[in-house]
Amino acid sequence: VLKELYRVLKKGGRAIILEFSKPTPGLLKKAYDAYSFKLIPKLGAWLCKDEDSYRYLVESIRQHPDQEILKTWFLEAGFERCDYQNLSGGIVALHQGMKD
């Protein structure tokens, strides 16, 4: 996907992706894990009568590559000046790369 994004981007263009990521270690990570694996599926069951889908959502987020891996993928796709900014303690990250 990143290679195709690079291909169709105009020279001088910037790709920006906001994606769930890996929280930084510590208390926030422990609290986020508890919230994700215990509360989100229960809320899904209560609000939508679909606990399994919300459990799958949390598990799929955990399978997403971390910030450094996604940055490497940007570079491998041809982007330059690649970087990311953690938001909410790394729960989400804003990734960007330029096509020079």
CA pair distance 63, 21, nearest whole angstrom: 9
pLDDT of residue 7 exceeding 90: yes
What pLDDT, on the 0 to 100 scale, is given for residue 96?
A: 98
Tell me: the pLDDT tens digits for 31-83? 998 999 899 999 999 999 999 999 999 999 888 899 999 999 999 999 999 99
What pLDDT, on the 0 to 100 scale, is given for residue 24?
A: 85
* C-alpha 34 chain-centroid distance: 18
Q: pTM for the complete prediction?
A: 0.83
CA pair distance 64, 84, nearest whole angstrom: 15
Tell me how crowded residue 67 is: count the other CB atoms within 10 A of its CB. Answer: 19
Task: Output Rg (C-alpha) for the chain, integer angstroms.
Answer: 16
